[in-house]
Structure 1
Amino acid sequence: MDDGPTAELAGEEPKVSYESHETPSVVIVGGGVVQQTPEDLVAKAIAPVKREFLLPPPIRPCSKDSNDVASDATKSAPSNLLKEKKSKRQLKRERLQEKKSVLHLCPEVARSGDPSTCRYNDKCRFSHDIEAFKDQKPADLEGDCPFLNNEGPCPYGLTCRFSGTHKDGLPAEAFNGQKKSPEMNGLNKDVQKLLWKNNMKFPKADAQLKLLGLLGHMKSVQAKLSEEEEGDRTTPNRSIAADENGGCEVAGDTNIKMDHSPQPPEEDDCAGGTFASDELRPPKKAKSSVDENHSRNELDNGIGKLKKDIEKSCSQNETGSTADCIPAETDGSLKSHPREKKLIDFREKLYLAPLTTVGNLPFRRVCKVLGADVTCGEMAMCTNLLQGQASEWALLRRHSSEDLFGVQICGAYPDTVTRTVELIDQECTVDFIDINMGCPIDIVVNKGAGSALLMKPMRMKSVVQAASAIVDRPITVKVRTGYFEGRNRIDSLIENIGQWGASAVTIHGRSRQQRYSKLADWEYIYQCTRKAPDALQVLGNGDVFSYLDWNTHKSDCPELSTCMIARGALIKPWIFTEIKEQRHWDISSGERLNIMKDYVRFGLDHWGSDAKGVETTRHFLLEWLSYTFRYIPVGLLDVIPQRLNWRPPSYFGRDDLETLMASESASDWVRISEMLLGKVPAGFTFAPKHKSNAYDRAENG
């Protein structure tokens, strides 16, 4: 169903039949009113909303901005959705001033209600003035504390925005005996310190890299990277936001230092898996004993020595065993790992794609309630994980309700990816590890990761081989059709991907160059699926927005294991329910609001119920609302189901709340957040990180 022309000229008839009415619709085009049939509108990728729900042409005063996102207290101020950029020094100064504020109460004092419980006493950098805090604390929010059912007091104590609902009479010591958190995969402090000091050992990864002849290269690259990091201390941290369909977009500060302007990667790699055209890689050296050019006799003579080195390396690992580290194959290639893999059957399962920024743990919990079978964490950068960055490790968090859960990592080289895989295998509870080889954004591609790997098949081979050989968890891969539009190449690699050790591959039906300018090429996904070996499961990804889309892809290509759902879940997370129940859910505005209430409850449970946790929950709720407004209720359409590339005309809903939810104004999204989380703080502003190609406006994402 997703094959077709561009979003602007979607003129081909879809493969599925649509329920349609013949009543002409009135559409506002260029300030005029034009009557067109639903079929004409669909041909132009305009949503055929019923005539009685269409709005008249808007009258927009030139001097007034309708997209002001400030609260009621700041609506009279000039509209400026984009926050002023501040230097690191200024941000640090503001944080220090905030900590000195009486509103920044010491956590220990907040929990116990007694200033004497803080072990730092007068040297504590937080306030201990409980009375001053109570005088300035905002009013409590409506509802109960999300930690009310825990076996102990709320961990946020007096700072909780629901403190009025706390149970009295519980001793402070009860906090230590509260119920175990349902979240897993937290970063151990001892491990974090080892990562900070670069003292973490990776015996399995190092042994495998040595067998592949990549360990020497790794040490040289790490030394050079360390030198460059010293010179890049002032480089702003990367900020990545959710893009459509589970990719990523750069957000925030775009002044990130790059060695070169965006350039496509080299077409070919050097033979034997060494890396070419990369400024971070050392010059070519003589290849190791596993060089493809060596004869079989020379290789066999070197295997004994390699095994001894591997045994020595593995003996440093207290938890591992030597047998786990020695590959069974001795012919210079890694055809398979000796241990039997824990296979996952993705067939017919509803897979929620890894969605950067919006695909956080509370959102995944919402999707699980609505019927998702498989969930995957947000894309995490390998280099940041190996540096022990807490913010990156937070992307690996898992809730106990996620019964089939994986994490997605992104790296440029076999060394970083393999070490990250070993680290995750040791420290986290996951069912599979997905390697992103399809991320299209420049900041990732320019470093040789993401879609850049599609142009380097030998490096892809090294990454998948090394990673899959050291863990018994399934290794999956996510790719795009190719780097350049019109030059697809996954069909030529699909057989090799299975031989390298991957258990499954997800194909996003667009190239890196396309981004999201056209509909996904499902015919090409089918072509690749039919070429894949039986042991390799193939998942399709792109433009799945209804159960009819799902049924069409499954019937057109029975060999396809399942479809990954990304934008469809962002815009309407109840798509999982629709697919399982095989119906179009004409969901009411009240039911949609209840889903948002669940998200807020999950968010407070995850980020905290204090002021900071409330505003973090609000921020991510607003990011999600920047997608949900694109949903058009089933009862308002002349043709169903809605398609992802349809542009909605101006319309109103069946009630005031439905009309509010359909607004593309960020100020209305803030109003919805205030219905769930109370009034926004004074001076509050919001600008969505992601700006869709289909809804790109200068003022409002």
Structure 2
Amino acid sequence: MENPKLFDEDGGSLNAEELVAKGIAPIKREFIQTPTDNRNCNNITTEDDVVVVGQPKPVPILKEKKSKRQLKRERRQERTSPLHICSEVAKKGKVTACRYGEKCRFSHDLEAFKAMKPEDLEGNCPFLKSEGPCPYGLACRFSGTHKEDSDSNGMNAPRLISEVNTFNKDVQKLLWKNKMKFPKAEATLKALGLVGKKKFVEKDEDDLIDGLQPVDKNGSSGLTGNPVINVEEEAEEEKLVGKDVNDDDKNRPVKKAKTADGPEEEQEKSLEQSDAIPSDGHVALESDLSLKIHPREKKIIDFREKLYLAPLTTVGTLPFRRLCKKLGADVTCGEMAMCTNLLQGQASEWALLRRHSSEDLFGVQICGAYPDTVARTVELIERECSVDFIDINMGCPIDIVVNKGAGSALLTKPMRMKSIVQAASGTVDTPITIKVRTGYVEGKNRIDSLIADIGNWGAAAVTIHGRSRQQRYSKLADWEYINRCARLAPNSLQVLGNGDVFSHLDWNKHKSDCPELSTCMIARGALIKPWIFTEIKEQRHWDISSTERLNILKEYVHFGLDHWGSDSKGVETVRHFLLEWLSYTCRYIPVGLLDVVPQQINWRQPPYYGRDELETLMGSDSAADWIRISEMLLGKVPADFTFAPKHKSNAYDRAENG
């Protein structure tokens, strides 16, 4: 990344006002790094959490890309390694603990495992305070801190679980076999005329799969139900928006919906029968639909004045949300989950719906392209999970999502938006919210013309990100347009603004400019400085020290080990997500270093020195320095470790980052 120019054409340094006008952070001159400066801020290592100047860390060489077959063979070989010890054997410390015996795929060689196991990490086991023994036993990287009398406490003592919304294996099997029943969704779709009454054209299965989905040998994607499109609605949409992003998908041949034939096992049959009838024992027939409660009579979530942590891809994990809750966030929302993946029973996608007990006002965000897919998903979520609201993403700009007709693509299909919201809100009692952008193409905003109807469709709230899909994250958010939409919205619909909130002054300004705005959603501001919630609640610019920032990172690591595990695999998973987060936190500039306060989210920062070595390290945009920070908290990285953050090309295995 090219450094910002800090000098004018005559070679003189720019003042603070000129730097701000150019979008450059006005850092005080004594902290600016210059090419002639002899201070070396990259050669930093750690010893007992004290940062000292030392020798540069050698950078590993990027290895050649391996084939899938080779990777699979290596994984099988790794399972036979003593390091891949059976979890039951490691937990109880006895070879006889595994019920599979010699048929177990993992190692039972305790002595070899102890000889090869890496040294314990500093600190205490994250499960030390919980009831019962550590679930990882000898495999825990903090096993030296385990209680010696754990055997006397009882190996089978229950451990306090602080997370909910775990994925039921029986439900997963039904989803895999396409045998799950959705009576509420089917009744709602029928009442809305989205099935059975008009001519429908089905999308090709290839067009229904969001992302890289597994397809079996018969070409089936494993979707539960086949999304359908109302031809009359499609024609009406074309009149409104012209040529659509999915015009080439029309005029597909009509296909019959798949049916699950054949004998069923007894346990599957009993599960299906229980799923076919709602928990209240009442089956919603077409004649009953007039008795369903109106969307406006449902439970209402009050977002007013609450600090809302946005659903954040990759970094917005349960440990990060837990940290933000501790720092002052009021509302949290899980990462975006694809409806098709959830309906296929993908465990990795269902993991995005996990909730911590500290998240007292929690929602999940889903993304789908068709009303029946979304309706079935919300019914399944309400049945299997504990959530306070369900948010439907209609603003995601990612190509792989948009090309399937979901996310921002829905902004070009107002009738499809209407059908999705109506189907979702009519299926469940859980409040439905939606998140949108201003429009699909820059300069052609859409939401102001729809805002009056969104509440009537059944949505409890709408979050407006003040950028178009075409803009992605370039340019500043258009808060004037957000405020305009908030003023046009009916009283029954809460409007939330999103975009560039980076200080309590930003929060105050947006709230004072438009009293009709319920609250502001905080996204990248929380990634860069999660203590923004504390700043807003205490109405101050927190000149946080490097030690305080390190303590926040330690808290995150503790939450991560509690969530992903304290064995070697869990430690490296925590490290991966920590590094992804550090790729954002390095953009923070301490308050005490700025000539103009507060920092703006669009400022480019020149290389600078902090007030101490650790602050300098935390401000580095080098992936190698992020690795060094992780080593303070999680020990040395493996010898062949590499890392490249998702949002930028900067990578640890590049020599220039050494």
Map 1:670-689 → 2, pairs under 5 A: 670-689=627-646
Find the aligned partners of 2:78 and 2:274 in 1 and give their Cα distance. 48
Q: Does 1:391 align with 2:348?
A: yes
Q: Does 1:533 align with 2:503?
A: no
Checking the alignment, whether the CA contact within 8 Å between 1:347 and 1:562 is kept in structure 2 is yes
Call closer, same or farther: CA 1:325–1:183 in 2, change over 3 Å: farther
Find the aligned partners of 1:33 and 1:135 in 2 and give their Cα distance. 62
1:164-201, Cα deviation, whole Å (9 max, x unpaired): 01112323993433233100001001001101111110
SS in 1 for 2:121: coil
Shift of residue 213 of structure 1?
2.6
Find the aligned partners of 1:282 and 1:327 in 2 and give their Cα distance. 33
Checking the alignment, whether the CA contact within 8 Å between 1:380 and 1:392 is kept in structure 2 is yes
Checking the alignment, whether the CA contact within 8 Å between 2:366 and 2:392 is kept in structure 1 is yes
Identity, % of aligned pairs? 71
Question: Which residue identity lines up with residue 93 of structure 1 in the other structure?
Answer: R
Partner of 1:144: 124
Partner of 2:34: 56
Call closer, same or farther: CA 1:665–1:225 in 2, change over 3 Å: closer
Shift of residue 623 of structure 1?
0.2
Find the aligned partners of 1:42 and 1:550 in 2 and give their Cα distance. 20
Shift of residue 400 of structure 1?
0.1
SS in 1 for 2:336: strand
Map 1:63-82 → 2, pairs under 5 A: 76=58, 80=62
Checking the alignment, whether the CA contact within 8 Å between 1:31 and 1:57 is kept in structure 2 is no
Partner of 1:158: 138
Shift of residue 318 of structure 1?
4.7
Shift of residue 58 of structure 1?
6.4
SS in 2 for 1:177: coil
Aligned residues: 604
Counterpart among 516, 519, 529 of residue 572 in structure 1: 529
Find the aligned partners of 1:86 and 1:191 in 2 and give their Cα distance. 35
Checking the alignment, whether the CA contact within 8 Å between 2:295 and 2:458 is kept in structure 1 is no
| Structure 1 residue ranges without an equivalent (≥5) | 1-7, 9-25, 61-65, 238-264, 286-312
Counterpart among 1, 17, 20 of residue 42 in structure 1: 20
Shift of residue 688 of structure 1?
0.4
Question: Which residue identity lines up with residue 479 of structure 2 in the other structure?
Answer: W
Find the aligned partners of 1:627 and 1:122 in 2 and give their Cα distance. 47
Counterpart among 609, 618, 623 of residue 652 in structure 1: 609
Partner of 2:183: 203
Shift of residue 96 of structure 1?
1.1
Find the aligned partners of 2:55 and 2:345 in 1 and give their Cα distance. 41
1:128-160, Cα deviation, whole Å (9 max, x unpaired): 000000000000000000011121110000100
Find the aligned partners of 2:617 and 2:287 in 1 and give their Cα distance. 60
| Structure 2 residue ranges without an equivalent (≥5) | 46-53, 222-233, 256-272
Find the aligned partners of 1:679 and 1:614 in 2 and give their Cα distance. 11
Shift of residue 214 of structure 1?
2.4
Deviates more, 1:30-39 or 1:567-576: 30-39
SS in 1 for 2:459: coil
Question: Which residue identity lines up with residue 23 of structure 2 in the other structure?
Answer: A
> Does 1 or 2 have the higher relative contact order (CA < 8 Å, sep 6+)?
1
1:451-503, Cα deviation, whole Å (9 max, x unpaired): 00000001000000000011111100000000000000100000111110000
Call closer, same or farther: CA 1:642–1:324 in 2, change over 3 Å: farther
Find the aligned partners of 1:663 and 1:397 in 2 and give their Cα distance. 33
Find the aligned partners of 2:656 and 2:405 in 1 and give their Cα distance. 33
Partner of 1:88: 68
Partner of 1:316: 276
Shift of residue 279 of structure 1?
2.5
Call closer, same or farther: CA 1:231–1:121 in 2, change over 3 Å: closer
Question: Which residue identity lines up with residue 354 of structure 1 in the other structure?
Answer: P
What TM-score, normalized to structure 1? 0.80
Q: Does 1:596 align with 2:574?
A: no
Shift of residue 339 of structure 1?
8.5
CA RMSD across the alignment: 3.5
Call closer, same or farther: CA 1:612–1:230 in 2, change over 3 Å: closer
Shift of residue 211 of structure 1?
1.9
Call closer, same or farther: CA 1:85–1:565 in 2, change over 3 Å: farther
Map 1:148-547 → 2, pairs under 5 A: 148-171=128-151, 174-216=154-196, 221=202, 224=205, 268-269=237-238, 277=247, 279=249, 282=252, 316-322=276-282, 337=294, 340-547=297-504
SS in 2 for 1:90: helix
SS in 1 for 2:237: coil
Checking the alignment, whether the CA contact within 8 Å between 1:498 and 1:533 is kept in structure 2 is yes
Counterpart among 572, 589, 595 of residue 632 in structure 1: 589
Partner of 1:291: none
Partner of 1:104: 84
Call closer, same or farther: CA 1:169–1:91 in 2, change over 3 Å: same
Checking the alignment, whether the CA contact within 8 Å between 2:201 and 2:253 is kept in structure 1 is no
Checking the alignment, whether the CA contact within 8 Å between 2:307 and 2:331 is kept in structure 1 is yes
Shift of residue 316 of structure 1?
3.3
Find the aligned partners of 2:43 and 2:404 in 1 and give their Cα distance. 36
Find the aligned partners of 2:66 and 2:204 in 1 and give their Cα distance. 32
Question: Which residue identity lines up with residue 279 of structure 2 in the other structure?
Answer: T
Find the aligned partners of 2:503 and 2:16 in 1 and give their Cα distance. 19
Shift of residue 699 of structure 1?
7.0
1:57-76, Cα deviation, whole Å (9 max, x unpaired): 2699xxxxx9999xx99954
